[in-house]
Structure 1
Amino acid sequence: MSNILIISSQVDRANNLCTILTFLGESFECVSFSEAMALLRQEGLRQKDGFSAVLIDALDPQLALDICEKFPVLPFVLVGTADDSKAKNNVVGTLVEPVTYPGLTKMLHRCQEYLRHQPNLKTSVNNKTRLFRSLVGKSSQIQSVRHLIEQVAPTEANVLILGESGTGKEVIARNVHFLSNRTEATFIPVNCGAIPGELLESELFGHEKGAFTGAVNSRKGRFELAEGGTLFLDEIGDMPLQMQVKLLRVLQERTYERVGGTKPIKCDVRVIAATHRDLENMIEQGQFREDLYYRLNVFPIESPALRERKEDIPLLLQELITRLEIDNAQIRFTENALTSLMEHNWSGNVRELSNLVERLMILYPNQLIDLHDLPHKYKHLDVEPYHPDYPQELLEREAINAMFGDSSDTEDEVGFAELDDPAAKALPAEGLNLKEYISDLEVSLITQALDGQDWVVARAAEVLGMRRTTLVEKMRKYNISKD
């Protein structure tokens, strides 16, 4: 169908617009106001196949604005007026006569941007949504990455993915492969930094029998295994210079030979490379070939660091918990914990976040994670920890268990020296006043805790496992003071 719709009942104005659009090579359709509403209801709400721009005559401004308001999905341009103060958001601008080529192209570009960044557009390919789950997030950075993947995937262009370690560069490469015309073929990943330089040539191109000591059989290389599919060269910046020359030849001539062989093998492989290094700086230092860089860097994609898209952390946590199910364990996070995690620098990026989630799922299976359950390096909020304030009956019962239980266990658990009172070991034959005894025991324990913590009440309360306010009340009750 036509890309641009012209709505005008003025013949001269409509003809002028048609002339300029014909010169631009744009397809268009021109209708009157009476025909416009029916056409827009039929086509204008179809987000994928609808009009890319609507040029509407503003001879009757109110009528034009009413039509614009009824179709918020479509971008409109008012023609013939400079007053757009009452216009809605989907009116991207105005064209004052005489309409010029620069002015019209500027408005068409605005319409294009309105559609490109429009939220909640549904993709027409279900498998994209399924695979893009691994690129979780709503930030502008990750949306830009998804857009670039969709643009380059159907082509045969080489892709260079740049970004810090742990940002998910291989995930991006797999998405490019999955959405390409090679999706039915193989995706072969190779970490160039993990293979010694003297073995990398054999790993990539294969070898013939007897090519070197230990080559008892012929072996296919990664290029041969990826034939018809995609070869992902991770950490390309770690590839030795002599191998860079051989890789460049394959990219230029689309042929290669196995190590020890002379027969050329044709190569139909799409190459996607990735690195965390600054290749341009390496070129200046003579560590990376400039001609190879430009062969690989046909379509660069920047993989954003996690600290640049912290608003995606809650969604990433949800995805990682689902993916890392350990014995069907699930965890959730309080608001304070999420806020603290979003304040972290994340030098290890998504890989560091994944490791943290796995650790917490092991430590606290099926529990709610609060700020104070996080490892110390992830605590970035100053929030006082919660200490339960148990009823007096439970405290008295615990004191009784401490008196008549194993004295060595009590000493180890409480962390105080054994009391000198002989009644702590056995109940006297003449009996005792339990209430007074418990009060004396409580005074003794509180005093020992305060002495051990230099009379810092907050630290003593932490040792005793109670709130600071509770300890202050008990000190007031028993008239305990440093003096």
Structure 2
Amino acid sequence: MSNSWIGSSSQTLELKGLVSQIANTDAPVLIRGSSGVGKEIVAQYIHRSSDRAASGEFVAVNCAAIPHDLLESELFGHVRGAFSGAISDYKGRFRQAHGGTLFLDEIGDMPEQLQVKLLRIIQDGRVRPLGADKEIQTDSRIISATHLDMEEAIKVGSFREDLFFRLNVVPLFVADLRERQEEIPDLFEFFANKYASSHPPISLCPYSSALIMTYDWPGNVRELENFCQRLSIFYPGQKINVRSISQQFIPPGMRSIISEVAAIGSGSALPDLESIGLNAADYDSAAAQSETDSLHTLQDFDRWIGIGLEDLDVSEGLKQSMTEIEKRLISSALKLVNYNVSECSRLLKVNRTTLIDKINRYEIL
């Protein structure tokens, strides 16, 4: 993933605010969140926002990617002849990060025997390379990250509780992409430009734009980036309609949404998604309502989605267009349920607090 931190959701803005408060301290930071949410991006941002960016490097180590028998040497270094194959001295990542930041990714996968050594280094800042007869003083800020449930790891004995408390001085959490969907257009545009190569960046038709906002992205930002890179390779410079491209390039979950929308649309008077820019979940929501719910008929649903996009100025770009569509959808849905926010959140399949945040931001009520 890119080392740029894109995002303006309430979750991301709050996180950036916390980072600004702790950037110029030396306090250890533990970043938690699902795989692919961008934990290393946050770590890099902390480093770049600190004075250490001028005095040292940002050095990253994936504790899960390096074989356990090599990880100790990778972290602490070794002297020539310390083991078979050690033909020269090696500084190790701790000393490489002297004056800067050491990022220990997937810290939850660190072998238990190394956890003891890491704990001591955090306490006194001294590293002993393999085969050396003396310790070396180091000065690196430690930022670690994990997708694991650390409390459970401590409970089963795979991670030391005392080390956890040393690392978790500043706890940060990065939310899943599905919890900050408003960032998807910006991220897609960023990745489209990143992978544009010699062609103009790819773009999405209204149907596809709505669809990527509906999809859950279980692989988070990493999955979105891979998707955008894939489309940029096979459809360079094109305006993408996901219904007309090879299905093997579309995530299975997204293919299911497309199929469900197609099934709902057949034999009904529902308008085409592309003509209104409505996301697929709203069709699914309408189809799932019982006769006792707010949406009694497809005719009611037709009235709800009559949000009037004829005057939409698409020249403002994807983000602005999607924002305006979202604003109009929320306004129409609120009117339909007589401004019952709880009912509206159920109708739109969005968390109530998230809906309230959007209502306030758009000044709808």
- Note whether the superposition's TM-score is higher than 0.5: yes
CA contact (8 A) 2:196 2:202 kept: no
CA contact (8 A) 1:326 1:362 kept: no
Instruction: Specify the alignment match of 1:298 in structure 2.
Output: 169
Render the CA deviation track for 1:437-471: whole Å, top value 9, x for unaligned.
Answer: xxxxxxxxxxxxxxxxxxxxxxxxxxxxxxxxxxx
Correspondence for 1:165 among 35, 44, 58? 35
Give TM-score, length-normalised by structure 2. Answer: 0.67
Structure 1 stretch displaced more, 284-293 or 369-378: 369-378
Aligned-residue offset at 1:133: 8.5
4+ residue stretches of structure 1 with deviation over 6 A?
none
Determine if the alignment matches structure 1 residue 251 to structure 2 residue 122.
yes
Instruction: Specify the alignment match of 2:24 in structure 1.
Output: 154
Render the CA deviation track for 1:320-369: whole Å, top value 9, x for unaligned.
Answer: 11122233342111221111111112111001001110111122211111
Provide the C-alpha distance between the structure 2 equivalents of 1:188 and 1:351, rounded to a whole number of angstroms: 21
Counterparts of residues 33-432 of structure 1 (less than 5 Å):
134-184=4-54, 185-373=56-244, 375=250, 377=252, 378-379=254-255, 380-381=257-258, 382-383=261-262
CA contact (8 A) 1:136 1:315 kept: yes
Render the CA deviation track for 1:363-386: whole Å, top value 9, x for unaligned.
Answer: 221111124146263242525799
Count of matched residue pairs: 255
Provide the C-alpha distance between the structure 1 equivalents of 2:152 and 2:46, rounded to a whole number of angstroms: 27
Question: Residue 175 of structure 1 aligns to which amino acid in structure 2?
Answer: Y
Render the CA deviation track for 1:3-25: whole Å, top value 9, x for unaligned.
Answer: xxxxxxxxxxxxxxxxxxxxxxx
Highest Rg: 1 or 2? 1
Specify the SS of the correspondent of 1:183: helix
Specify the SS of the correspondent of 1:272: strand
Provide the C-alpha distance between the structure 1 equivalents of 2:18 and 2:144, rounded to a whole number of angstroms: 15
CA contact (8 A) 2:57 2:97 kept: yes
Aligned-residue offset at 1:138: 2.1
Question: Residue 168 of structure 1 aligns to which amino acid in structure 2?
Answer: G
CA contact (8 A) 2:29 2:171 kept: yes
Provide the C-alpha distance between the structure 1 equivalents of 2:152 and 2:96, rounded to a whole number of angstroms: 33
Render the CA deviation track for 1:199-250: whole Å, top value 9, x for unaligned.
Answer: 1111011111111111121111111111111000000011000000000000
Structure 1 residues 301, 212: CA separation in 2 closer, same or farther (over 3 Å shift)? Answer: same
Provide the C-alpha distance between the structure 2 equivalents of 1:148 and 1:292, rounded to a whole number of angstroms: 23
User: Larger RCO: Structure 1 or Structure 2 (Cα < 8 Å, ≥ 6 residues apart)?
Assistant: 2
Provide the C-alpha distance between the structure 1 equivalents of 2:143 and 2:51, rounded to a whole number of angstroms: 14
CA contact (8 A) 2:195 2:201 kept: no
Provide the C-alpha distance between the structure 1 equivalents of 2:200 and 2:233, rounded to a whole number of angstroms: 8
Unaligned runs of 5+ in 1: 1-131, 387-483
Q: Where is the helix percentage greater, Structure 1 or Structure 2? A: 2
Unaligned runs of 5+ in 2: 267-271, 273-365
Provide the C-alpha distance between the structure 1 equivalents of 2:244 and 2:48, rounded to a whole number of angstroms: 39
Specify the SS of the correspondent of 1:273: strand
Structure 1 stretch displaced more, 208-217 or 284-293: 208-217
Question: Residue 14 of structure 2 aligns to which amino acid in structure 1?
Answer: S
Instruction: Specify the alignment match of 2:323 in structure 1.
Output: none
Provide the C-alpha distance between the structure 1 equivalents of 2:209 and 2:7, rounded to a whole number of angstroms: 15
Aligned-residue offset at 1:171: 0.4
Identity, % of aligned pairs?
46
Render the CA deviation track for 1:148-191: whole Å, top value 9, x for unaligned.
Answer: 11111011111101011111111000000000110111110000
CA contact (8 A) 2:196 2:236 kept: no
Question: Residue 162 of structure 1 aligns to which amino acid in structure 2?
Answer: R
CA contact (8 A) 2:3 2:41 kept: no
